[in-house]
Amino acid sequence: MASDTATVVIPGDDPPQIGDSDALERLRQRARLQVYRDRPANDEEKIRRVRDADVILSSRSAVTWRETDFVQLPRLKMIATCSVGTDSIDLDAARSRGIVVSNLPGVNAPFVAEHIFGLMFAVAKRTVEQTEALKAGQWHASLPNVMLQGKRIGIVGTGAIGAEMARLAKGLGMEVVAWTFNPDPQRERELGLRYVSLDELLSTSAVVSLHVRLSEQSTGLIGEAEIAQMRPDAILLNGARGPVVDTAALIAALERGHLHGAGIDVFDQEPLPAGAPMTRCERVVLTPHAADQTPEAVHAVNDAAVGNVLAFLDGNPRVNAAQ
Identify the helix (H) or strand (E) that includes residue 235: strand 235-238
**Residue 49 banded pLDDT, cuts 50, 70, 90:** very high
Closest to 292 in 3D by CA, of 148, 83, 8: 83
Q: How far is CA 205 from CA 166, 177, 230, in A?
A: 13, 8, 8
- Structure-derived torsion over alpha carbons of residues 169, 170, 171, 173, reported in degrees to the nearest 10: 90
**Residue 242 banded pLDDT, cuts 50, 70, 90:** very high
Q: Is 67 a catalytic residue?
A: no
**Residue 61 banded pLDDT, cuts 50, 70, 90:** confident
Share of the chain above pLDDT 70, in %: 98
Q: What is the mean pLDDT of residues 235-261?
A: 97
Q: Which of 60, 260, 289, 318 is catalytic?
A: 289
Closest to 162 in 3D by CA, of 183, 141, 133: 183
Q: Is 20 exposed, middle or buried (0-12, 13-18, 19+ CB in 10 A)?
A: exposed
Q: Using omega within 30 degrees of 0 as the cis cutoff, is the peptide bond preceding 15 cis?
A: yes
**Residue 321 banded pLDDT, cuts 50, 70, 90:** very low
Residue 59 CA to chain centroid, in angstroms? Answer: 13
Determine how β-strand 175-179 pairs with β-strand 194-195: parallel
Share of the chain above pLDDT 90, in %: 86
- pLDDT tens profile 99-145: 999 999 899 999 999 999 999 999 999 999 999 989 999 987 777 89
pLDDT at residue 108 in the model: 92
**Residue 322 banded pLDDT, cuts 50, 70, 90:** very low
Q: How far is residue 153's CA from residue 166's CA, in Å, rounded to a whole number?
A: 8
Q: How far is residue 151's CA from residue 31's CA, in Å, rounded to a whole number?
A: 53
- pLDDT tens profile 30-43: 999 999 999 999 99
- pLDDT tens profile 308-320: 999 999 998 887 5
| Strand arrangement, sheet containing 235-238 | 194-195, 175-179, 152-156, 207-210, 235-238, 261-264, 284-286
**Residue 185 banded pLDDT, cuts 50, 70, 90:** very high
- pLDDT tens profile 62-80: 799 999 999 999 999 999 9
Tell me how crowded residue 51 is: count the other CB atoms within 10 A of its CB: 14
Q: What is the mean pLDDT of residues 54-69?
A: 91
Domains and CATH numbers, the chain: 3-107+295-313 (3.40.50.720), 109-286 (3.40.50.720)
Q: How far is residue 319's CA from residue 317's CA, in Å, rounded to a whole number?
A: 6
Q: Is 1 exposed, middle or buried (0-12, 13-18, 19+ CB in 10 A)?
A: middle
| 1 pLDDT above the threshold of 60 | no
Q: Is 289 a catalytic residue?
A: yes
pLDDT at residue 4 in the model: 60
Q: Which of 213, 241, 260, 283 is catalytic?
A: 241
DSSP code of residue 5: G
**Residue 2 banded pLDDT, cuts 50, 70, 90:** low
Q: How far is residue 259's CA from residue 229's CA, in Å, rounded to a whole number?
A: 10
Per-chain mean pLDDT for the chain: 93
Q: What is the mean pLDDT of residues 260-266?
A: 97
| 194 pLDDT above the threshold of 60 | yes
pTM > 0.75: yes or no:
yes
Closest to 109 in 3D by CA, of 60, 170, 63, 167: 167
Q: Which region, left, alpha or beta, applies to residue 147 given φ > 0 means left and ψ of -120 to 50 means alpha?
A: beta
pLDDT at residue 84 in the model: 85
Q: What is the mean pLDDT of residues 31-59?
A: 95
Count CA within 13 A, CB hemisphere, residue 133.
12
Q: What is the mean pLDDT of residues 166-194?
A: 97
